[in-house]
Amino acid sequence: MTSINNNINISNTNHYTSLDHSFHITLYTFSQYYLLLLFFKMSEENGEEVQKTRPTPRLNERILSSMSKRSVAAHPWHDLEIGPGAPHIFNCVVEITKGSKVKYELDKKTGLIKVDRILYSSVVYPHNYGFIPRTLCEDNDPLDVLVLMQEPVIPGCFLRARAIGLMPMIDQGEKDDKIIAVCADDPEYKHYTDYKELQPHRLMEIRRFFEDYKKNENKEVAVNEFLPPSTAVEAIQHSMDLYAEYIMHTLRR
Report pLDDT for 30. 45
Most confident of 108-117, 211-220, 227-236: 227-236
Q: What is the mean pLDDT of the chain?
A: 82
Domain that holds residue 139: 89-252
- Is there a single domain that holds both residue 132 and residue 192? yes
Say whether pTM exceeds 0.85. no
Choice between 121 and 142, residue whose per-residue pLDDT is larger: 142
- Is there a single domain that holds both residue 190 and residue 105? yes
In a domain, 75, yes or no: no
- Is there a single domain that holds both residue 102 and residue 58? no
- Is there a single domain that holds both residue 43 and residue 97? no
pLDDT at 163 over 90: yes
Residues 6+ apart with CB under 8 A from 235: 143, 166, 177, 179
Domain count of the fold of the chain: 2
- Is there a single domain that holds both residue 54 and residue 117? no
Most confident of 7-11, 16-20, 94-98: 94-98
Report pLDDT for 14. 44
Catalytic: 246? no
Exposure of 209 in the CB half-sphere (CA atoms within 13 A): 21
In a domain, 81, yes or no: no
- Is there a single domain that holds both residue 148 and residue 55? no
Residue 107's domain is classified under what CATH number?
3.90.80.10
- Is there a single domain that holds both residue 233 and residue 113? yes
In a domain, 168, yes or no: yes
Average pLDDT on 20-30 reads: 40
Identify the active-site residue in 33, 104, 120, 125: 125
- Is there a single domain that holds both residue 103 and residue 52? no
Choice between 211 and 57, residue whose per-residue pLDDT is larger: 211
- Is there a single domain that holds both residue 101 and residue 200? yes
Instruction: Indicate the DSSP class of residue 247.
Output: H
**Beta strands at 178-183 and 143-148: parallel, antiparallel or unpaired:** parallel
Q: Render pLDDT for 56-114 as a digit per residue (tens, 0 to 9).
A: 555 555 555 555 555 567 899 999 999 999 999 999 999 999 999 999 999 999 999 99
Report pLDDT for 32. 52
Average pLDDT on 202-217 reads: 93
